[in-house]
Structure 1
Amino acid sequence: MRSTTGETTHTVGALARLAGVTVRTLHHYGDVGLLSPSGRSDAGYRLYGPDDVQRLTRILYYRDLGFGLDEIAVLLDGDTDTAAHLRTQHELLTERLHRVQSMVAAVEREMEAHMSGVRLTAQEQLEVFGEAWDPSYQDEAEQRWGDTEAWAQSQERTARYTKQDWIEVKAETDAVNARFVEAFDQGVEPGSARADGLAEEHRATLNRFYDANHELHRQVASLYTDDERFAATYEALAPGLAAWVRAVVEANANQQR
């Protein structure tokens, strides 16, 4: 719909569909003075213009960051300009990204431990792997891989691991994941020299636990998209990363044939 000035306007229903919120939500934002429509139709229906859409976008950004509506009103109606809003938004998202990355790293370390049969005391497990550690997953890992040669190797090798060894595993896992994210963000293509190098770094972390040839590496990487828990770990680091890591590993393995 276009207004008399030629600008595109949206009814409350159309804007709700566009933004992925309910009509009731938009009505509530209007009731509390957070988002008032800039116009009305001849029949008295609310009409939202481009500035309203932009304001709603900011509201949803801040709401997603956990701000209450009163706080959002202060952020939007204070003396700061658009650039200041964006800087604030960037700072808040960066802080949240760091928290999520820390959580993902803990989950990644947990998965590595499940695959290898970690032997630490309960207190040491908490110290090394963080609060996300759940020893019950180790039983699941044994049921899933307990009859494989890789499991037997991991049990033998990790039986000699000290707490310091596990701390090093944590550091290596964090570092490889960080390089994955960096390469993915930069558009590195699977099969390229850089991607192959990253695949080999990742395979080296598995070799701490068992002999991970390229075919076994391919099988492990398939879990990153086929098992929702593995996929969630990589997707939390960067949307689309799970499939990209799998493609990187598979491309590297294909070149070894």
Structure 2
Amino acid sequence: MKVKEVADLAGISVRTLHHYDEIGLLVPKETTEAGYRLYTQDDVELLQQILFFRELGFPLKRIKEIIDDPSFDREEALRMHRSILLEQRSRLNRMIMTIDKTIQHAKGEIQMADKERFEGFDFSRNPYEEEARKRWGDTAVDQANAKAAHMTKEQQDAFHQVYVNLAAVRHLAPASEEAQTAITAWYVLLNEWGNYSPEAFRGLGQMYVADERFTNNIDQFGEGLAQFMCDAMGIYADNQS
């Protein structure tokens, strides 16, 4: 299949596939004499696995490391992903039941105890992140929560503006000049009140997508911003090495 056919099949952009090719994550095994990429069935299966990892919030560089590892077991990875999705489905079902009860309570059809209002919510842990960390390791920066809690009003305003600037370029490739300029400003700002090495910066970006609390807060500035920042921060870290 040609790149447009694969993009349409997977529901992603042609630009995304070109980027995967450029970084060596998914390089089509064949090309035509005219230079068009041709994707085999093996390429399509590998793309599916890459997108599974993306769903889990893994940055592209880490995905490449995992699938290039000789010990990588595709079937094991699929089983893990299935387990994670089943747990996520169970949690969502509990939340849907809570919503249904809340609607009935609002209509006066049932009485709802305060404790019932919060069934399905669990911000104390992230089982998807935990299982992924156990299997493939983790470089996230665990100090980020504590640091974020002590920002001044001026820092909050500065952070807000950086998010706005990043949201404005999130439609571009994370490796683009505009994206890297905006993410560099983020790195500089963070180091005005903390001490982030490029690797710690990468880890913070991974937390943005591994912890849904971060994702939800960041994506208020634009859908997909957390993932975009994670990818851009990983590319920034790579460029510093």
Query: TM range, normalised to the smaller chain?
Result: 0.3 to 0.5
TM-score by length of 1: 0.41
TM-score by length of 2: 0.44
User: Relative contact order, CA 8 A, sep 6+: which one is greater?
Assistant: 2
